[in-house]
Structure 1
């Protein structure tokens, strides 16, 4: 004779479960199991995705084409020098300074210009401001006025024994500053050096000092 299984006694009820209660309990246990399994699967998927993103960042080569070019302006000056009697300025600047342009230009007025554009690093090391160097070979006052968009002279600055004409317009609103908010001009040995910047006098003066440091007389 088959053994009869006694109904399960539920403590909370104080009596055996009914068949309906047993079925409901098993259904709830099955649902909770599926919920826990789904949560574990979700966590596992997130971990796999995080690992995949990490590998993507570490292993996939970065596209640096959007970065500004860094020009070896000292080499460019040496390459261009044989075609010009006057020494082309190639100032030696602090670490972190880079040039994003270096070339010989000839304007409509016929003045030949050696141009170098510098990017000045900020506290984080990223470029924070711009300083331009324009060396006019046998230039004239009109050329200087054009380079500085007719800015007015505000005084003089003596840097290491060389007196530069100053154009200090750093007090202008940002929208009026342009790249010539502060500028220095010096004539020496047939060249007119115009150094100008968008943010600070200190950066422009750094380039000016480096230029005169290269003078041989």
Structure 2
């Protein structure tokens, strides 16, 4: 009865039609006062933010999309158990992270929280890559959801504070960069896995690059702030 399942899932975007239609939208910058794309591309902070968004999307989706396959191939779990414990728990912990950010974000030192999340993400990728213990490997997958939860909204918040006149074009570029990372990350992990005799641990090891680059970009951004 997969057709009825599809109809049930269709209820979610149907409800969102009402949500989007009735949700008030606050315009932070008037369109005529916002920076253009050319102006944005001439601003170093925007390039750093784009790199952060690419790495954020790649770090998140590389783990989220391959967690189930990792649980099956590397840890020997069943398809059902792999889906429930892998991507499902990943999504729950990511939601918890964003809930905390939404509730207490104004009181946080966002740069430190982002840095801590990046370090935690590196540790999680190392656990999934190096550990042969199913519990430890799955713990890496699950906790990774918490570590990446802050990256996307955190980057947008940091950039909007540094570039208050960025306008609609800036947020469009950041969204595009995040989506680009979300497609590149899983693609690279899958390509490396396929070309290493389907060894998904090797693919996950390549995914470690994304949170590492994110940490480097955060360091450059923080250094620029202090100077």
Normalised by the length of structure 1, the TM-score is 0.23
| Structure ranking higher in helix proportion | 2
Structure number with the bigger relative contact order (C-alpha 8 A, sep ≥ 6) is 2
Higher-Rg structure is 1
| Structure ranking higher in strand proportion | 1
Normalised by the length of structure 2, the TM-score is 0.22
